[in-house]
Structure 1
Amino acid sequence: MSKQYETGNAKNVADLQKLIEQVTVYTAYNPPVDNLKIVNLNTLYINSLNAVTEVEEKRNANKNAIHTRQQAYLNLKSTSTRIINQLEILGLSEGVLAQAKSLNNLIQGSKKKKKEVDEETGEESKTVSTSRQSYTQLADNFSKILQLLATIPTYNPNLEELKLVNLIAYHTTLVESTKNVDITEAVLNTKLIERNNILYKSGTGLYTIAQNVKKYVKSIYGATSPEYSNISKIKFTSS
């Protein structure tokens, strides 16, 4: 969502307050429609302001969760490589070591090319990258390395951060960081829907009601009146 769009939401709310302040001093302003009455306009303003504020709060929470996840994953590649270095001195079978290195390559982003064969000609055609680099996939591949380590009795490094129990704790941190991103994003999306309904829902949203306030003022004072001229300058944007 663009920064301009977010600024437009806040401006609509601020302009609603300006509109309310203006029509409040109009002695003839006494609309027959409930949602145009001053008391209900004030309620709409408060609800709109709260909705916009909550969206920004939840957006910041989501940004913080994203930053926390980025920090959590910073050492993943180097940690994975250090694990491989430990395994290389243990005299493991080529198969076990190759399996560990293959998982490490996926974490590092090494791109092995998988060949495809043209069904008609039988010739090798384009290649497809098998790099898996999403956060979830990175954590999954790291988990597979840890599962492999659990089957190797001789894996017992002196460094605390490379001990299996601490690697498992680190993996939990990785998984939880992505979970928090997903949770905060879901909450943000819910608040965005709520805000958009309050501001832009047809018939009951801020935008529609603001336009109706202007129409009502024009109907009682006239299109060329200074009263209408004052509020016609207050611009609102639709979603």
Structure 2
Amino acid sequence: MASTTETGHAKNIANFQTLIEFLTGYGSSYNPSKSNLRLPALIALKDSAELALADVLSHNTIYNGRVSERQVAFSGIKIMSTRFVNAIQVSDASEGSIKEAKFHNRKLQGKRASPPKTPVNPGETATATISASQQSYDQLIQHLSGLKTVLENEPNYQPHEPELLVDTLVSTITDLQNKNLEVARTYANLSNARIARNKLLYGDEIGICETASDVKKYIKAIFGATSPEFAQIKGLEFVKIKN
């Protein structure tokens, strides 16, 4: 279902089409000197706006798909990380490697090694401590990469199970990085599409809203404020939407 905002953009275009239909009905009486108010220019602007709106909807669908794919890909990494830590603990790895592996896993899980200290001063708030929850997608990849580095540099970590091999972890990290990049790429495309749409609908002088306002002024000038022609179009709403 389209969002209220996208419906608002579509309504502006639909009202602009209605405006064009009224102007077409005026025949030769509608003859503005300003080129961007002439019917061919209005029709071209409406067509471009429709294409731009469709482009935004298309990019939004693609972006939402990539976000969902990333969410699924990241959903199992905390369990996966814990399995690797369990595996290194039952290997002949050094205590230092095991400690480092636990550190990166703890970061990935969003946990502290110990509870935060109680503020000494009653007026001191939680903002005085540094957050241990580094849970953005980039940071999760970083924590998993840290675990990978520990495992690949520990000569005594030699599991027999394919799912616990360092190569498996490397492949997972590469997949997560790619999915994260796809979200960023598709969001950039969506953002650029929105900019193009907004210029056509709401740009100064050239946008649909400004153009419709000028058309209304022209109709009011040539037919009069109390004319039936102006009554036809004055109620058509063109609302500027910021996003």
Correspondence for 2:140? 138
| Whole-angstrom CA distance in 2 between matches of 1:216 and 1:126 | 62
TM-score by length of 2: 0.90
Q: Is the 8 A contact 1:200 1:238 kept in 2?
A: yes
1:95 aligns with 2:132: no
Structure 2, unpaired ranges of 5+: 121-126
Q: Is the 8 A contact 2:110 2:133 kept in 1?
A: yes
Correspondence for 1:200? 202
Which protein is richer in strand relative to its size?
A: 1
The structural deviation recorded for 1:92 is 2.6
The structural deviation recorded for 1:157 is 2.2
Correspondence for 1:35? 36
1:23 aligns with 2:23: yes
Report % sequence identity. 35
Correspondence for 1:54? 55
Structure 1, unpaired ranges of 5+: 119-124
| Whole-angstrom CA distance in 1 between matches of 2:240 and 2:119 | 52
What residue identity is the alignment partner of 1:85? N
Q: Is the 8 A contact 2:93 2:155 kept in 1?
A: no
Correspondence for 1:105? 106
What residue identity is the alignment partner of 1:49? E
Correspondence for 1:165? 167
The structural deviation recorded for 1:158 is 2.7
What's the RMSD between the two structures over aligned residues? 2.0
TM-score by length of 1: 0.91
The structural deviation recorded for 1:155 is 2.0
Q: Is the 8 A contact 1:114 1:129 kept in 2?
A: no
Q: Deviations over 1:178-203 (max 9, x none)?
A: 10011111111111111111111111
What residue identity is the alignment partner of 2:154? I
Q: Is the 8 A contact 1:114 1:128 kept in 2?
A: no
Residues 182 and 9 of structure 1, relative CA distance in 2, 3 Å threshold: same
Aligned length: 233
1:10 aligns with 2:5: no
